[in-house]
Amino acid sequence: MSGHSDSNRILTTHVGSLPRPVELLDLMKAKAQGQGDEAALDACVKRAVKQCVREQVDAGMDIVTDGEQSKVGFFAYVRERIQGFEPRPGAGYAAFDAEVEAFPEYYKEYFGTAMLGGNILPFVPVACTGPIAYVGLDKVQEDIENLRVALADVPHHSAFLPSVAPNGVGTNEYYKSDADYLEAVGEALRMEYKAIVEAGFSVQIDDPFLPDLFAERHLDNAAIRRKADDYVQILNHALRGLPAERVRYHTCYSINEGPRIHDVPFIEFVAWMLKINAGAYSFEAGNVRHEHEYHLWEEVKLPAGKKLIPGVICHASNTVEHPELIAERLVRFADRVGRENVIAGADCGFSSQATYKTEVHPTVMWEKFRAMRAGADLATKKLWP
């Protein structure tokens, strides 16, 4: 952008997951069915990462990633990387109970077809039944090398790799307490976090589970706050020694397209989010249930040296946001926390699961990214006249 360096313009990024090409999905599906060719799959992942990095740059992204092309799901991937878990088919996931009870017909269709119809693997919860051990260093090193190769011939500001938060891996059936269990998971995932940072990238902690804590209807407010305190402490322990400026923290509300009337208000958990030792915080702000929440930054002070990555495009709608609206959203945040502390982002990932059918069509997603770039440029002109 003429006349503006990276230090005096609005940078662009996104949350991480991007649609996988059909060739890769077919190979993932074959592997899931026990018929896979591992060498062919690895080669296809390399090609997919290289292609999606190029497409990110072409669409105007400054801070890019591997698109999570190697992963069947944003947290399901840890089954390959952490020992000590067993599947619990049919166990369900209670985070959306209030929403599902309010709109049972809608969510029956949503979970049955619209969301899960094309997934490579069905959602199967896991339970910890033995000592936890991280065995995925070879896998994370493959992700690191694939991204490094893909970045070699494209211009970019920086790059990151996502990794799941300890709270999202499974349930505890082995350790004496849930706190002991989460600490063990955090210690295992720390090896992944550390490997990514030591490779020269930023690590993004993917965590839709923090808002879920504040939606637990069987707990009173004091119990929820204690649980959130414990969780933040465990995550920070897993991040100990890692430079905050190389840690991004992403949280969202675990559901994509839907009424969303039972989403937890951001003001209820923002204080805990800001206690996490990260340099930048990514969250939903483009979704119409949350766009108004930028006003909370008139009361909540952003700690010095921290940045916000508000979502300015929605991952749950095929309507492409107008660049002027994106610019307005960015200026709102800049006016409240400082223009140098705002990075344009997306509400959440566009393919958190490897699926043949994403909610937002890939061609629309890339148009959203281009709109984000145009909106960031407009905001830059307004903020650095």
pTM, full prediction: 0.95
Handedness of CA 183, 184, 190, 192 (dihedral sign): negative
**Residue 138: inside a domain, yes or no?**
yes
**Residue 75: inside a domain, yes or no?**
yes
**Residue 115: inside a domain, yes or no?**
yes
**CA 205 – CA 90 distance, rounded (Å):** 27
pLDDT score, position 1: 42
pLDDT tens digits along 205-262: 999 999 999 988 889 999 999 999 999 999 999 999 999 999 999 999 978 899 999 9
Residue 185: which domain range?
Answer: 6-383
Does 280 score more than 50 pLDDT? yes
The torsion angles phi and psi of 26, rounded to 5 degrees, stand at -60, -40
The torsion angles phi and psi of 110, rounded to 5 degrees, stand at -60, -50
**CA 239 – CA 233 distance, rounded (Å):** 10
**Residue 1: inside a domain, yes or no?**
no
What is the pLDDT confidence band of residue 93, given thresholds at 50, 70 and 90? low
**CA 82 – CA 189 distance, rounded (Å):** 8
β-pairing, 247-250 with 280-283?
parallel
Angle between helices 137-151 and 178-198 (to 10 degrees): 30
Contact 258, 107 (CB under 8 A): yes
CATH number for the domain harbouring residue 181: 3.20.20.210
| E strand or H helix that includes residue 37 | none
**CA 337 – CA 341 distance, rounded (Å):** 6
**Residue 131: inside a domain, yes or no?**
yes
**Residue 105: inside a domain, yes or no?**
yes
**Residue 328: inside a domain, yes or no?**
yes
pLDDT tens digits along 72-81: 988 888 888 9
What is the pLDDT confidence band of residue 268, given thresholds at 50, 70 and 90? very high
Residues 209-232, buried b or exposed e (16+ Cβ, 10 A)? bbbbbbbeeeeeeeebbebbebbb
Vertex 286, ends 381 and 250: CA angle to 5°?
100
Count of domains forming the chain: 1
End-to-end CA distance of the chain: 13
pLDDT score, position 2: 46
Contact 154, 57 (CB under 8 A): yes
